[in-house]
Amino acid sequence: MAVAIRRNPASPLDLTRSAQVEAAGSPALRCISKKENPIQQDGVLERATRLELEYDARKAEFPDSTEEIVHILKETVKKYKKENPDALDERIYSYVHGTLDHISLPASEKAWRIYARYSSIIAEGYKQYLYDKPINLSEPETQKNIAWIIKVRNNITHSSGVQEQLIPNAIYTRLRIALYCSVLERSGYSIPEIESIMQSYFTGRSQ
């Protein structure tokens, strides 16, 4: 369960204090400071999972008609069962009805929605401070790259890691930054404050 950060107005950009408090209570920041070369497959698993958890924590902020669709499907199953009581075993009806509770947005869409909120901050950082490492930051390519990460997560094995240079357009690191931005905003930081924090982050990486 995430721990809300009580910020000190005198030091609104105290990133170290915020990270320590949040890391103690939230799974979202536990992967922020890990080394990334090579990236172990359990690291990919963790990153994808943290993004899903972060989306779920902020689900109410995003438009999503999935629950409405699930409700319609459940009503359809109930209607079919009432009209065809002997068509299927009771256990089958219960199973079908129960599986509908697990319908949600794809993991790649959840990750994209979190990333998209901070895409301009991330893009500006890469363009301004990491210009020697050109990457494709377009929306279609980013969605494609996120889908790549999720596919790696879904096909994960315990045999090896993923070399950083094989990851398209630094998407693993970009998702880490998006996750960090989301945790900061959920903890009470404003977008301008997050922009300032990320500017410091990118400046440090470029040196």
Confidence of residue 163 (pLDDT cuts 50, 70, 90): low
* Whole-number pLDDT of residue 160: 55
Instruction: Check residues 74 and 28 and name the one with the higher pLDDT.
Output: 74
pLDDT exceeds cutoff 80 at 20: no
State the pLDDT confidence band at 3, using cuts at 50, 70 and 90. Answer: very low
Full DSSP string of the chain? --------TT-TT-HHHHHHHHHHH-GGGTTTT---SSBPHHHHHHHHHHHHHHHHHTGGGS---HHHHHHHHHHHHHHHHHH-TTTS-HHHHHHHHHHGGG----HHHHHHHHHHHTHHHHHHHHHHH-TTS-----HHHHHHHHHHHHHHHHT--SS--B-GGGSGGGHHHHHHHHHHHHHHHHTT--HHHHHHHHHHHHHHHH-
pTM for the full predicted model = 0.70
Residue 34 pLDDT > 80: no
